[in-house]
Chain A
């Protein structure tokens, strides 16, 4: 039985020395069969399980995770949430996700520490200004908040920027999505896991899928390191490892895996209260509640499954950050890491059916999977429960790579591919 988290329960716990708390979720052992199996216990997989139980009343569901939940890209991203995409299909998808984020702490009874501190994209040239005007206008046409910022407005919103006449990388203006911001990445995994577990979902860790059992061309279960588990509906939410799983099931994906790098500094006093993205330098940064600067970098532009980024990229990103914020020059960096991202030709996700009946997938979020967790889970749960792709996910079906109807969000993905 789970405790409900509240100030009152915390106060009540004080009388028992805070020894009354039960585990947030149950670390389950696999049963022989489930109605639905979700492969991948990151944000997307856990959200899928939660929405299967919550929206569709399916609670005989297992989430199977190779390592520990939230230990992949969910624990490796830069925690940015935003919906500043160009095309109507993407705007609908990503803004639905942001709206779910806005209500998520209350819904999950778990503080996801959503901080809508505003997103500032920097324009470093006339061409950036033109492109950002088009971008912001496209967002407004799609009903999403966006505002063009003058040079002075950028300077007021982002105090540390080098706005001097001799600045190495001049800032001419920018645009903002004020509803953008950050959320606590681990809390997303833990919050969804706790809520799913409370609805009866089995969360199975240290269980690697080694094959998909098929009968008559349909999926009927998975072979794992902890034995065979049957289910006639299986969803894959494995980000950078999607191709590995697809290969086990006998098909290919239009996905290439790359290492995307990020790093954090030592904690410092509050210096930055927005999320700043500088497409020109490839850097994007925000300050965490602990005070660390969280800095996102570029891809190593060759296929990789190594969860580490090369030093050349670290160096070029930090050079960019220092050109923009000279005051950070003596800051020490604490950690650097990389996550394996599943990059698709049009930088848009793939949601829905696979060539194997009964097997569904949610992948291709590439460098922007964190912001998509709620809608990724919502739509994968929908197709697993009903067999029909959710209207929001319809344009993002795998079939677009045959019809040629791509949704090219290369610019809005924010990272050069």
Chain B
């Protein structure tokens, strides 16, 4: 099981968290085409490598935050606030 460092509570078992999927998705404007809207709702990078994703400490403080995690090794490379931009 992964240990995930919550930005408020520190390292806890993965079972205390829920994953909210890919982070940094930008909602398109209201006049977006069906193509753009579908792209926003459904299409994902789904990388084999580093993935930027949202996690919530559901069984703890309840805070949402961002995690940069490798999808093969499951290594967590960084944890940052939900409002922060994607790391370069």
Question: For window 251-286 of chain A, which residues contact chain B by CB distance below 8 Å?
Answer: 252-257
Q: For the complex, what is the distance from the CA of A402 to the CA of B32, rounded to whole Å?
A: 12
- Which residues 1-25 of B sit at the A interface, judged by CB distance below 8 A? 1-2, 13-15, 18-19, 21-22
Complex contact A253–B43 (CB within 8 A) = yes
Chain B nearest CB, measured from A397 CB (Å): 13
Whether the pair A303, B53 counts as a contact (CB closer than 8 A) is: yes
Residues of B within 8 A of A404 (CB): 34, 38
A187 to B8 Cα, complex, angstroms: 52
- Residues of chain B within 8 A (CB-CB) of A301 are 18-19
Across-interface contacts of A255 in B (CB, < 8 A): 44, 46
Cα separation A402 to B42 with both chains bound (whole Å): 9
B45 at the interface (CB under 8 A from A): yes
Cα distance, A255 to B46, chains bound together (Å): 7
A402 with B35: in contact, given A244-B48, A253-B46, A254-B44 (CB under 8 Å)?
yes
Within 8 A of A (CB), among B53-76: 53, 69, 71-74
Residue A140 interfacial (CB < 8 Å) = no
Smallest CB–CB gap between A305 and chain B, Å?
5
On chain B, the residues within 8 Å of A402 by CB distance are: 34-35, 38
Whether A32 sits at the interface, judged by CB under 8 Å, is: no
Bound-state CA distance A304–B74 (Å) is 8
| Residues of A close to B19: CB separation below 8 A | 301-303
Tell me whether A241 and B48 are in contact in the complex, defined as CB-CB below 8 angstroms, given that A301-B19, A305-B72, A312-B15 are known contacts.
yes
> Which residues of chain B have C-beta atoms less than 8 A from A252's C-beta?
39, 43-46
Which of chain A's residues have a CB closer than 8 A to the CB of B72? 304-306
Bound complex: CA A75 to CA B46 (Å): 23
- Residues of chain B within 8 A (CB-CB) of A403 are 34
CB contact between B14 and one of A244, A305, A310 (< 8 Å): that residue:
A310
A243 within 8 A of B: yes
Minimal beta-carbon separation of B17 from chain A (angstroms): 9
Residues of A within 8 Å of B, CB-based: how many? 24
Out of A254, A303, A306, name the residue touching B51 (CB < 8 Å): A303
Q: Given A302-B19, A303-B53, A310-B1, decide whether A243 and B45 contact each other with a Cβ distance below 8 A.
A: yes
Min CB–CB distance A116 → chain B (angstroms): 36
Query: What separation, in Å, do the CA atoms of A403 and B42 have in the docked complex?
Result: 12
B53: chain A residues at CB < 8 Å are 302-303
Is A306 touching B74 in the complex (CB atoms < 8 A)?
A: yes
Q: How far is the CA of A256 from the CA of B34 in the complex (A)?
A: 21
For residue A300, give the distance in angstroms from its CB to the closest CB of chain B.
9
Q: Contacts of A390 on B, CB cut-off 8 Å? A: none
Query: Interface centre among B48, B51, B53, by most A CB within 10 Å?
Result: B48
Q: What are the interface flags for A375-411 relative to B under an 8 Å C-beta threshold, 1 for contact and 0 otherwise?
A: 0000000000000000000000000011110000000
Is A21 part of the binding interface, using a Cβ–Cβ cutoff of 8 Å? no
By a CB distance below 8 angstroms, the chain A residues around B47 are 243, 247
CB distance from B41 to the nearest CB of A (A): 8
CB-defined contacts of B21 to chain A, threshold 8 Å: 256, 303
Is residue A218 contacting chain B, with contact meaning CB distance below 8 A?
no
Q: Is the CB of B38 within 8 A of A243?
A: no
* CB < 8 Å neighbour of B71 from A254, A303, A312, A345: A303
B33 to chain A: closest residue by CB: A402
Task: Looking at the assembled complex, report how far the CB atom of A239 sits from the nearest CB atom of chain B, in whole angstroms.
Answer: 12
Q: List B contacts of A256 (CB < 8 A).
A: 21-22, 44, 46
Given A302-B19, A302-B53, A310-B1, are A401 and B43 also a contact pair (CB < 8 Å)? Answer: yes
For the complex, give the distance between the alpha carbons of A255 and B48 in Å: 12
Task: Kindly identify which residue among B44, B69, B74 contacts A243, using a CB–CB cutoff of 8 Å.
Answer: B44
CA distance A252 to B44 in the complex (A): 6
* B34→A257 contact, CB < 8 A: no
A5 at interface, CB cutoff 8 A: no
A243 close to B46 (CB less than 8 A): yes
Instruction: Determine which residue in A244, A257, A303, A306 has the highest number of CB atoms from chain B within 10 A of its CB, and name it.
Output: A303
Mark A108-138 against chain B: 1 for CB-CB distance below 8 A, else 0: 0000000000000000000000000000000
A341 to chain B, nearest CB (A): 12
In the bound complex, CA of A61 to CA of B80 (Å): 49
- Other A-B pairs, 8, CB within 8 Å; known A241-B48, A254-B44, A301-B19: A243-B45, A253-B43, A254-B42, A256-B22, A301-B18, A302-B14, A303-B21, A401-B43
Q: Residues of A at under 8 Å CB distance from B?
A: 241, 243-244, 247, 252-257, 301-306, 310-312, 345, 401-404
6 residue pairs, one from A and one from B, having the closest CB atoms:
A254-B42, A243-B46, A302-B19, A402-B38, A252-B43, A401-B42
Could you list some 6 contacts between A and B, CB below 8 A? A256-B22, A302-B14, A303-B19, A310-B2, A311-B1, A401-B42
